[in-house]
């Protein structure tokens, strides 16, 4: 009986791994990301592609601040697999104050949205964040 349970558990685990998706986001020449609000499932991966120079990815907030991904290098491919549900806010370090922001919504979970809204940003970036949150909520 234990072997049957083990095999069944293994099959479920493998099917979850096999069903994980990968989304690609480009750095655009307009100081923005090609996808500004990405809605993904737990276990999915986002890849940021350096299609234009001078950009990177730096996370400003998420469901667990202590486990945020490291800042990427400028002009570099970057990949993150998201294992915790919640809202993640990131920006381009050189262009964040001018509104180059992105949101990742993992598992359609908004439990930490108040924390994200409370992150200190420039006036322009705050305005962009408000727009991105409206988009995220309208698609939930």
How do residues 81-107 score in pLDDT, each as one tens digit? 999 999 999 999 999 999 999 999 999
- Domain range summary for the chain, segments of one domain joined by +: 21-138
Residue 139: predicted pLDDT: 77
pLDDT over threshold 50, residue 77: yes
Residue 7: predicted pLDDT: 41
Query: How do residues 106-116 score in pLDDT, each as one tens digit?
Result: 999 999 999 99
Neighbours of 116 (CB within 10 A): 21
CATH number 3.40.1160.10 given to 21-138: no
Sign of CA dihedral 121, 123, 124, 126: positive
Query: How do residues 13-55 score in pLDDT, each as one tens digit?
Result: 444 445 799 999 999 999 999 999 999 999 999 999 999 999 9
Total-model pTM: 0.85
């Amino acid at each position: 009986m234990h072997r049957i349970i083990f095999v069944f558990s293994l099959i479920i685990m493998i099917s979850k791994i096999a069903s994980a998706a990968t989304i690609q986001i480009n750095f655009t020449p307009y100081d923005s990301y090609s996808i500004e609000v990405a809605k993904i499932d737990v276990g999915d991966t986002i890849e940021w592609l350096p299609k234009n120079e001078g950009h990177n990815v730096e996370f400003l907030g998420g469901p667990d601040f202590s486990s945020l991904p490291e800042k990427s290098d400028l002009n570099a491919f970057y990949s993150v697999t998201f294992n915790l549900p919640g809202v993640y806010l990131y920006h381009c370090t050189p262009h964040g104050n001018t509104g180059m922001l992105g949101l990742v919504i993992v598992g359609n979970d908004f439990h930490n949205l108040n924390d994200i809204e409370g992150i200190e940003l420039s006036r322009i970036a705050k305005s962009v964040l408000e727009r991105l949150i409206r988009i995220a909520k309208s698609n939930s």
